[in-house]
Chains A and B, each alone.
Chain A
Amino acid sequence: MVFNRDAMTRISTRKVLSIQSHVVHGYVGNKAATFPLQYQGWDVDALNTVQFSNHPGYGHFTGFRYDAGHLCEILEQGLAKSLEIQYDAVLMGYLPGVESLRKIGEAVGEMSARDPDLKWVLDPVLGDNGKLYVSGENVDAYKQILRHNKIHLVTPNQFEMETLTGVKIQDLESLKSSIEQFQKLYPRVNKIVVTSLELKNGYICACCDGGKIQYASVPRINAHFSGTGDLFSALLLNALVPPAGQTPPTLAQALLLVISLVDLILRRTLELSLSKDDVLPVTINDLKLIQCRDLLVGKHQNKELDAQIRLVDLN
């Protein structure tokens, strides 16, 4: 429940286990996901897979990874067995080691098999812009997880989608083939959102639910932001799993809401980060999530974008 001093409105708190990286400074991984989810009424149990001083985009960073034994002990012995916590969802992002990935994948798989209502959101963090930033073994481990588990939503980017399906995506036709191939290879995955695609005909986002494939053109901001993918998956989870008693929206509706909100957050981040000498495109290291609290609770509409954005059927 969220208690509002003025209105005393009460909304039931949802529970998520979020398994991702932790950076002391900045907003990627769990630092990008936790605050937006908490501010939208989620108890976020953050299991950190690493603790780094900052994300690698800064060039230099320090810190360490948690090993598979540590992570599994907390998850299996602690949260699942000893505390018996009932989660509404598990959000899984960057896991650096292949052993951790396999073991955590198995442990979450067991939780999900025990609890048919648990919504597993998996962001298969493999790489971006044509470059893998994990080992080939990690790719295989993700494929295994996707093949054998009931996953509510998977959120690859273009490169990750290509890597998981073996289909190079250049246009709408190959996007469609890639999504169809994904469904063939991983039939237990319920919903797919391909979060950022750069095709001949522009920047788009695509989704697939119950066999229906749709896409929308998304506005392009002339800057690179770290952490956007992690924020995007967290916000999709929030949109797709509403508080008890509320009907979940369709994937398409949820996606439009999230595109619209992320666009507002990125624009504000850019506005607050640019100094007058900056020349676009710029690289923005840290999302201004704390300064977007009003946006996270829907105080402002993205009127311009909402008036234009349309989902187009691809099949």
Chain B
Amino acid sequence: MRLLATQSHVVHGYVGNKAATFPLQCLGWDVDCCNSVQFSNHTGYGLDKVRGNATTESQLDNTLQGVIQNFPHDYDALLSGYLPHAESIRLMGCHYAEYKRQNPHALWLLDPVMGDEGELYVSESVVPEYKRLIFGPDVGIDIITPNQFELELLHGSPVTTLSELNDVLHGMHRFIPIIVVSSLDTRLFNDPNNIFIAASQAGKPPVILRVPLIDSYFTGIGDIFSALLIDRIYKQRDELNLVSCVNDTLNVVQDVLKVTRDHSPRGVTMGSTLMKESELKIIECRDLYEGPGEEQGLQFKYKVLY
């Protein structure tokens, strides 16, 4: 199993490719990382503490072009996460779509990383670029994993009720077969103590999953989530049970968060000097990535949207 992943690289800590690669390798994947940036650390340390540069558009284009040209059929899966500019998203999209045309059986997961909780952390020009990829003809994306804010950006307006959510997902399935909304707005459920996730497969009613909130400052969760999810979906691709894939992924993510919380100082906030002690314990969790599998059942399954 070989996967091509295009997202950020931080020298220190675990977000982007650093959060995705090791868990996937532990699960047996050869992970080929194309880095969209090389930064010293993630932005949670404070914006003034991030050193390094984004990979320029021509560098990214040139690197991906060499990869696809030299290994035209090597990849079983394609993953993309944070890309800094509209142009780098467009280039990744072109190369991945070309690969997908030549290899229709490869699985492509796109995480449209744009922001969270009402705050955009990329330039506004990124939004239409993701829309072009996701709603474009013959692009070949199989899975997207937006959070609620990103889903709303893609949809173009807020999603305030579960029935609206159902309609939005239904509409998007005309373009994308699998949509997993990694964190829904808790106001939809009037419950701040849990996190709600939507797992939606074209032609089936969306399912809401619920996991207890682990209250601490974590960065990189979305990246490990999408990495574990593509592993689960790939391994079940012939007979997919999406809810079981998401449930299993959530189990592992919860375990990683618990280990991280139990070994991090309390009271860490954005820009805190304690941040370097609060990185996800990706290495320490080496033996947890396989997950509990079937034995746990679907303990996070909460509600089906009809």
Contact = CB atoms under 8 A, between A and B. Distances in A.
Contacts of A26: 32
Contacts of A74: 11, 38-40, 51-52
Contact size range, B:
35 or more
Interface stretch (A39-47, A126-134, A218-226): A39-47
Contacts of B25: 35, 38-39, 290
B284 A79 contact: no
B120 interface: no
Contact of A83 (B22, B32, B49): B49
Contact of B70 (A35, A51, A58, A85): A58
B84 to A, nearest CB: 15
A85 B288 contact: no
Among A1, A54, A83, the one with the most B-chain Cβ atoms within 10 Å of its Cβ is: A83
Interface string A39-65: 101110111100111100010111110
A4 B285 CA distance: 8
Contacts of A79: 11-12, 40-41
B40 A38 contact: no
B185 interface: no
**Interface SS majority for chain A:** mixed
Interface in B1-59: 4, 9, 11-12, 18, 22, 25-26, 28-30, 32-35, 38-41, 45, 49-53, 55, 59
Interface stretch (B61-69, B194-202, B240-248): B61-69
A70 B67 contact: no
Contact of A2 (B45, B52, B284): B284
A188 B34 CA distance: 38
A3 B287 contact: yes
A247 interface: no
Contact size range, A:
35 or more
A54 B41 contact: no
Interface string A229-240: 000000000000
B276 interface: yes
A13 B11 contact: no
B63 A64 contact: yes
A25 B70 contact: yes
B74 interface: yes
Contact of A24 (B22, B39, B40, B67): B67
A90 B294 CA distance: 42
A222 B38 CA distance: 38
Q: Which 8 A-B pairs have the closest CB atoms?
A: A62-B66, A78-B40, A53-B66, A78-B51, A53-B67, A74-B40, A64-B59, A45-B12
Interface of A: 1-6, 13, 17, 22, 24-26, 35, 38-39, 41-43, 45-48, 51-54, 58, 60-64, 66, 70, 73-74, 77-79, 82-83, 85, 290-291, 293
